[in-house]
Structure 1
Amino acid sequence: MSTQLIKYLSAFHEAPEGIVQKYAAKWKPYNASKKQTLTVPGQTEKYLYFVLEGVQKSYFLHNGKEHVIAFAHGPSISGIPESFFLQRPSRYYLETVTDSNMVRIPFDLHYGFLQEHREIETLFRKILEIFLDGVIQRQHEIMALSMEERFRAFTSRSSRLLNLIPHKDIASYLRIDPTNFSKLMNSIKV
């Protein structure tokens, strides 16, 4: 059982400790090497992951080019959430950027626990509310901020990722041309 997972979950909602521990015990260790594909488009996400160490990205391909949607890094949830929670085919890839040490839970165990324990269902509702807020914030940044403002916003909240993730992936995530991203890296002190 991961104490990091218990601490993470408990930050969202104070469920009785014993229930959170029972739920966390359902998550099993999973290690993935760098550039390992975990989910492909058309495949329904079978697992929800919790990242202990490492970075993953979700992306789609268009005209042979990767378009990065999100990064996940520890300590946080990873996966293709809409595919997992709705049990519908993914539209995206999930791939490790670095070697990743995680724990994961299959959908049937997760869903069964939610059905049995209202406290865990409430906890995940709160997690999904925060996730939705993050998605809306990201949309706002993409649509309302200049490329320099997007770059600064990313570096202010995730500067450590600059050394872990290929810059072409960060540029894609920020919707900045790689050449312009390089210029920003050289001109703005991080």
Structure 2
Amino acid sequence: MSELQKFLKSIYDLPASSMQKLEDCLKPVEFKRKEVITWEGHVEKYLYFVQEGIQKSYYIKDGNEHVIAFTYAPSFSGIPESFLTQTPSKYFLDTITPSKLLRLSYDQLQSLLSEDRHLERMMQKATEVVLAGLIQRHHELLAFDIEERFTAFVKRSPKLLNLIPHKDLASYLGINATNFSKLLARVKI
């Protein structure tokens, strides 16, 4: 079973015929390290499935990057609200490491969803998973102090500490870089 099939099965158990329809529409793409996939102000035209690599979504304010999400295998990637509404993105999506992705265009997805109720249900479940994750992240940013945010992140994604620049991790956690370094030295992982 492919990584895509395993990932989707964890969300919704698609029949083989529905999985095949989806796989037939996916196109492989590759991006180099630090390559922009989606630009702020552009409409996200694709939903991506990450096979390899790490990507980040961020916005720029006062000349600084503010990281809002990381994506890595196996998961979806893209700018969800721009993709779902077909409106200009408020964010950039670029690669931290060289990345291999599978992509599906908005029009292809809409066609698949209109003709296959299982794919429509899978997309609904995937949206629910993303929404739950966003609510959890919002809660952590508002309710947790910096050490609790750091600890929660390390428990959830320990391998990312060595794969993502610490300045990006600090930005994602809403912690300044100096405090992030202190937490890294002080908190037992």
TM-score (norm 2): 0.97
Q: Deviations over 1:98-128 (max 9, x none)?
A: 0111111111111110111111011010000
1:156 maps to 2:155: yes
Corresponding position: 1:4 with 2:3: yes
1:169 maps onto 2:171 in alignment: no
Question: Matches of 1:182 and 1:10 in 2, distance apart?
Answer: 38
The within-5 A match list for 1:15-164 is: 15-164=14-163
- Matched-pair contact (CA < 8 Å) for 2:55–2:71: yes
**Equivalent residues, number:** 189
State the 4+ residue runs in structure 1 displaced beyond 2 angstroms.
none
In the alignment, is the contact (CA less than 8 A) between 2:8 and 2:14 conserved in 1?
A: no
Amino acid at match of 1:179: T
Spell out, residue by residue over 1:56-100, the C-alpha distance to the aligned partner (whole angstroms, 9 max, x if none). Answer: 000000010100000001000000011111111100000101011
Structure 2: state its 5+ residue gaps: none
- Output the aligned Cα RMSD: 1.0
Q: Residues of 2 paired with 1:135 and 1:38: CA distance?
A: 21
Deviation of 1:15 after TM superposition, in Å, equals 2.4
Instruction: Between 138-147 and 4-13, report the one with greater CA deviation.
Output: 4-13
Unaligned ranges ≥5, structure 1: none
